[in-house]
Structure formats: C-alpha cells, structure tokens
Amino acid sequence: MTENRDMEALLPRYFSGEATEEERTRVAQWVRESDEHARIARQIQELCFAADALASMEQVDTERALKRVQTRIFLTRIRRFVQAAERIAAVLFIPLLAAFLYALMAPEETVEMMEVRTNPGMTTHIVLPDGTNVSLNSESSLRYPIRFCEDRKVWLCGEAFFDVTKDERKRFVVETTQGAKIEVHGTRFNLEAFPDDSLVVTTLLSGCVDFVSDAGHTRMQPNEKLVYHTGSGWMDKFTTTGEAETAWKDGRIVFRNTPFEEALHMLEKRYYVDFVVTNPRYAKDAFTGSFTNQRLDRILEIFQISSGIRWRYVSTGDKADKKSKIEIY
C-alpha cells in the first residue's frame, strides 16, 4: 500500500513530463507489474489530461475576454479619429478612410490548438469538437483545433483508431508525419504512422476513405488494409476483418496467421520493448491466438512452445536506452 501511495504521488509528475529518467523507469516497471497498476495509471492519466484540457480552455476564455476589451478600446479611439477627420477632410477622403478602417477592424482569426500525447504502454480516448471518437495508442500524439472551421483536419504521429462523425459538408482529414493523409466524411478506420517506421498502414472497417500520398491517390473499401512503403512509394492492399489491427484499443492482442515480423512489431508497441532477431530461421513463421492482459513473458513462452523460438532479455549497457531489449536467437 505504501508503494502504491508513493507511485500515485509520482504518476502526475510522470504524465506532465516532469519526472526524472530514473522515475520514468520506475513508473514503466510498476505499470507492467500488474493489471491493477495499469488501471491506476490510466485513471491518473485521464485525470491529468482532463485538468490540462480545463486549464487550456480557461486560458482561451481569458484571452478572448482580453481581446474583446482591447477591441472596444480600439473602436473608441477610431470613432474619435473619424469625428475629427470629418471636420477637416475633403469629400474624396471619406471612401479612402472607410477602406482603411475596414482593413484595421477585420483581423485574421486564429484558432487554438490542442495536443494529446500517450506515454509508453498507455492508451487514451479523445472526443473531438465534432463528436468524432479517437482511441490513441501507446507513444502517439494527436493535434487538433478546439473548433473546426472549413475542414476537419487533425495531425497524427503514431497510431489511432477513428470513429468519424458523418458530415457531408466538411470532410475529415488526418495528416501524418510521413506526408500521407486520409480523407473521409464519416467512417471507422485505424491508421498507423509512426515517424521512425517506413510503413503507413490503414485498415478500413466501414465507410469509404481516400488514401493520398506522393505516390498517388487510392480509394479504400471496408475490410481492406493498405500498406504504404514510404521509401519506395509502393502500396499493397489486403483483405482483413480488422480484428487483429484494432484489438489494441480494447486492451487485446489478436494474431490471425500473423507473420513473425509483424507479430513482434505488435508486441513492441504494446509492451514498449525492442526485439533483436539474430536467428533468421523464424522469418517464415506465423502465429494465431488472442491475448488479453497477458504478461509479455507469458506470450513469448507460448511462442516458444508453438514455434520453438528462444528468447532472452539483453542489456546494451547504454543508460540512455529506455526500452527493454529482447533477443530472439
């Protein structure tokens, strides 16, 4: 109980980015110890996010109020100027003055932006201003305006599942750090676009989306998975139920004849680890199974039983490495 109380005091500093490297390591290890620890961490993360959002909204309201006061003072000064100018100006000066005042009194409006980030091993849920629901995966971030104007545009770095509210008048656009983007009106899809990966993967469950990149434009239909290779510009399409690609948002890992390399990638995202494969004989293996709230050690033990893989934790000796490393040998 004492450890939990200490950790509950440390978690808000962790989610606000104020924790030291040693404290971040403690938190990551503590979260992986049990489902109860992960539940407590998620609750505190949601409370911290809600507090940050409230503070941001209060700041926006304060800035708006100040802007209104400044505008009233500005208009009062302009009226006094006009009254003086009318007494001395020629008739031809009035249209020029009116145009000048119109330009001054119509400043460009700026829209405040919000950004939500998830820490390693954590996921979160966001409701956008138009009612769109977004699940944000581990080590991901989403930027979006506090209100949508002409288009509903957001920026994703990482992985997210979108359940987009339908609006035929305003398209919904997701832009990625790799330059690719998804354009929709109302649909449900998963998008994976981590900046360090050479792939952008889109899985469509319902509706219709347009995938746009430097390589071209393609339209996707439900139960399609598109893999875009950012280096070559090559696109591959596959048929899928979408269960394996979206199970993460429900706290599950689902393998459906999943290739060895892809299975390791899914585990890396979920458990914040790096795999180092030193034995090529597993490359053609594939895995099938479903896991809910299972420890990584347990999943690897099942892999070992089914495919004979051998694995071990390794140390790089580099204190800057935040992720655990596991060798498949």
Q: Residue 103 has what pLDDT? A: 47
Structure tokens at 265: 């990638």
Q: How confident is the model at residue 13 (pLDDT cuts 50, 70, 90)?
A: confident
Q: Residue holding tokens 């606000």?
A: 16
Q: How confident is the model at residue 84 (pLDDT cuts 50, 70, 90)?
A: low
Where along the chain do the CATH 2.60.120.1440 domains lie? 113-248
Residue 158 neighbours by CB distance under 10 Å = 22
> Has residue 92 got a pLDDT over 50?
no
User: Mean per-residue pLDDT for 241-250?
Assistant: 94
Q: Residue 215 has what pLDDT? A: 83
Q: Residue holding tokens 């490495």?
A: 321
Residue 263 or residue 58, greater confidence: 263
Q: Residue holding tokens 């944000």?
A: 136
Q: Residue 306 has what pLDDT? A: 84
Q: How confident is the model at residue 90 (pLDDT cuts 50, 70, 90)?
A: very low
Degrees (nearest 5) of the Cα angle 10, 14, 18?
105
Q: Residue 212 has what pLDDT? A: 95
Strand partners, 265: none
Pick the CATH number of 251-328 from 3.40.50.720, 3.40.50.10860, 3.55.50.30, 1.10.10.2840: 3.55.50.30
For 257: left if phi > 0, alpha if psi spans -120 to 50, otherwise beta; the answer is left
User: Mean per-residue pLDDT for 266-288?
Assistant: 92
CB 298 within 8 A of CB 271: no
User: Mean per-residue pLDDT for 38-54?
Assistant: 66
> Has residue 112 got a pLDDT over 70?
yes
Residues 6+ apart with CB under 8 A from 144: 113, 114, 128, 129, 153, 154, 155
Helix ranges (H only) for the chain are 2-15, 21-33, 35-88, 93-104, 243-246, 260-271, 296-307
3-state percent breakdown (helix, strand, coil) of the chain, nearest 5? 40, 30, 30
CB 192 within 8 A of CB 228: no
Per-residue H/E/C for 39-66: HHHHHHHHHHHHHHHHHHHHHHHHHHHH
3-class SS of residue 171? coil
pTM score of the predicted model: 0.65
User: Mean per-residue pLDDT for 265-294?
Assistant: 91
Burial zone of 132 (CB within 10 Å; 0-12 exposed, 13-18 middle, 19+ buried): buried
Average pLDDT, the chain: 82
Q: Residue 34 has what pLDDT? A: 78
Q: Specify the pairing of strand 224-229 against strand 311-314.
A: unpaired
Q: Residue 220 has what pLDDT? A: 95
Where along the chain do the CATH 3.55.50.30 domains lie? 251-328
Tell me if the domain spanning 113-248 has CATH number 3.40.50.300.
Answer: no
Residue 164 neighbours by CB distance under 10 Å = 25
Q: How confident is the model at residue 145 (pLDDT cuts 50, 70, 90)?
A: very high
